[in-house]
Amino acid sequence: MKYWEKLQNSLTKKIIACPVCHKKIRIPIKVGKTLEINCPFCRSVFQISFRSSMHELLKWDKNLTFISNIFAMGRRFTKIPSYIQITLYLGLILLLLYFLN
């Protein structure tokens, strides 16, 4: 699979396990929405809701100190796939280059 295809798939599709038969299903991500999933294997129907992973990654807890928030963000950052990390790094570098010019 090509890099961009993989990245796009990871951002728009998610693989979940059916709660009844535990088979893996690929579903489209609809951030902030609740989807009704019809399992293609066992025909059971279940609901799934999404939260934005980027929002989740960058969330800021006002009850924590600045440093604690940075560390918490770093811990969440290491859990995401490496090709997304690379993309974020590249974006950050481009942003820095833009502002330094």
Instruction: Return the number of the residue (27 or 42) whose C-beta is nearest Zn ion.
Output: 42
- Sign, CA dihedral 38-41-42-48, equals negative
Of 17, 31, 42, 64, the residue at the interface with Zn ion (CB under 5 A) is 42
Side chain identity at residue 44, one-letter code: S
Residue number, 24 or 75, with CB nearest to Zn ion = 24
Burial code (b: 16+ CB inside 10 Å, e: under 16) for 9-22 equals ebeeeeeeebeeee
Q: Does 16 participate in binding Zn ion (rule CB under 5 A)?
A: no
Residues binding Zn ion (CB under 5 A) = 18, 20-21, 39, 41-42
